[in-house]
Structure 1
Amino acid sequence: MAKQVVEFIRELFKTDGFIPLHAPTFQGNEKRYVTNTIDSTFVSSVGEYVDEFERKLEQFTHSEKVVATVNGTSALHTSLYLAGVATGDMVITQALTFVATCNVITHMGAEPVFVDVSPVSLGMCPHALDEYLQASARLTETGCIHIATGKTIKAVVPMHTFGHPVELEKLSAVCDKWHLVLVEDAAESLGSYYQDKHTGTVGAFGALSFNGNKIITTGGGGAVLCKRKEDGVRAKHLTTQAKVPHPYEFYHDEAAFNFRMPNINAALGCAQMEQLPVFLANKRRLAAHYQDYFENTQFQFVKEPSYARSNYWLNAVICPDTATRNELLTTTNDAGVMTRPVWQLMHRLPMFADADRGELTYSEYLEGHLVNLPSSPVTHFS
């Protein structure tokens, strides 16, 4: 059936040429706004577009405070720093994620711990999280302690896989029970909602990404979503080298980060935000076409959870077996239709091979069965 899938995707995207997995769309004010920054000479981290981009994100997500950063990785780093993660701590995340999630934990001097994902969301499973904690942790006056090592388990970082929101209410309940800080890796989920709440706004902090392959792009960029305004004020301070405002003096009151988004990138982001509702509508139409096509086939199309509204950042199918997955990947890519498998699980990478982990049954199943399909927000769907 792989050849029929190629034909179907070519008909969807109406091209005989190469079809990327997810390409950016520039059909608005991108050139005009970027040219404005060049003409103004304010292309770095001071400029009106940075403030405007943050305001647009606050209005769209209903986050109390948004701070734009240079990329999604730095946004997650800032979020974990604000959550109090320190050297020697442990942070629980999912094995099925992009490597940046775990790199940030490591670069902070902490250790990742891996739990399984849920068939409901493809993101962190609340039952797997609670089962791991029941077996491996205990609560003390100083916090949640890992029994085997005596280290503090500080935070939990679920990732909204392919834009599908995790079961946030259940995860929040587990975090509250074990006195853990919930930090959402919302890199892939701008425009996704858990019930009526935008992803990244349920936990104490959330991290967005605006890489070139995301639903909107600033070239490279990210943002920290803060549940409390005072945390947003501190995030902005930390990401600008902790410089104390002054007309000309340079005084910094703590060791901080150079993570602020440049004005020229924010200009691109402002133009993209103007088109975001159209991108979201077109991506949902694309997902509906995929869902209809794969209905009653050997492939299971990945649908949004019943409690959520997904941005369908990357569409995906689950194949009946690994051989079928491999055939689909080979046939599509040989035909110039880009598909990809899910990431290799984090504990299979050499730098995380010794990380503690719970049972990863469903993560391992997806690793051998899932294929992502072309998902660019094209505009010709009706």
Structure 2
Amino acid sequence: MGNQKSQTFPTAALFGWYDKHGRDLPWRRRWPYLASAYHVWLSEIMLQQTVVATVIPYFLDFTRRWPTINDLASAPLDDVLAAWAGLGYYARARNLHKAAVMVATEWGGQFSGDHRHANAVADLRALPGVGPYTAGAIAAIAFGQQAVVVDGNIERLFSRYFAITTPLPAAKTEIAAAYAAILPVDRPSDWPQALMDFANAVCTPKQPLCDGCCFAESCQALARGLVDQLPVKPVKTPKPVRRAIAFVAVNDQGDIFLHRRPNQGLLGGMLAFPEIGLASKQADQNLDQTMAPFAADWVLLDEPVLHVFTHFALEMKICLASIEGTPQPIADDIKGHWAKPRPADLPSLMRKIWKAAAAMLLPPHASR
């Protein structure tokens, strides 16, 4: 099977396409030059569940503030979390910082692996937040190694080209085997990037550009009329709905009350308004002003904020209060502080909550 695939896959055509149409991204270099392992790692962590256009400004900001992985390791975690705000999936940011500290303290500030180091992928897997895909991407793109690198774009391209009809995620093993069978010796760092860009631009999820595609003559899905049916995805189930309530307190100085969420769990380690119910899977909870963290004239806003997480949808009620001074909540598990609103430091859910609350406030408290 491997020889057959090697003979039929249009590697030269792919590289020809990439040389003309490949994206110029701030973390990329073209063969024979290799990208910085720090840049590849940082961009790949940011790109998880996030599109390139969103990641670019975050990547540029991170590398401006922390030019090396040692700089990132030395940064306070709170600063890293604040810089990450808006990218979501905050466990990635915590693992990013942990990995940077590990590289700085245990690896001498250098990522392990180069073209002489056969175990680079295994070593990289030891870093927090680095799975098989990210380790393979670093090994291939930064070290120039022949490593298996399969993202969602490549899954789609290979499912179609080889007519892999096994449903995902079971098909991942078959796709990885096909990838390994056709790995070229030449331009190992360009190979996965060329595949990703081609799939992103030509072999798109909907209405792929099969006419004029340089793979058309040997694409098995096209020959069999299966392009629109591949890859076979698992049946989607409706997301369960959770309901919660957030409490937004604004004092006479225009400060808002925030607390740092526990490191574990949703929005771990992030600044947030006190809330009840976010971690509960019960959708029929009785949520009202009586759950507020301290006494005040709380007003329940008419409309909840809607937010979608990976595994559930959220309806977040909002209670708003204008308070004199800087009271502290009675609850032991909420230790917060009063500060001027800085939406950029908040995760996206909390930004939505503040936007809705601020719209109900009269100047000078409103800060948007």
Q: Normalised by the shorter chain, which TM-score bucket?
A: under 0.3
What TM-score results when the alignment is normalised by the length of structure 1?
Answer: 0.22
Give the number of the structure whose alpha-carbon radius of gyration is greater: 2
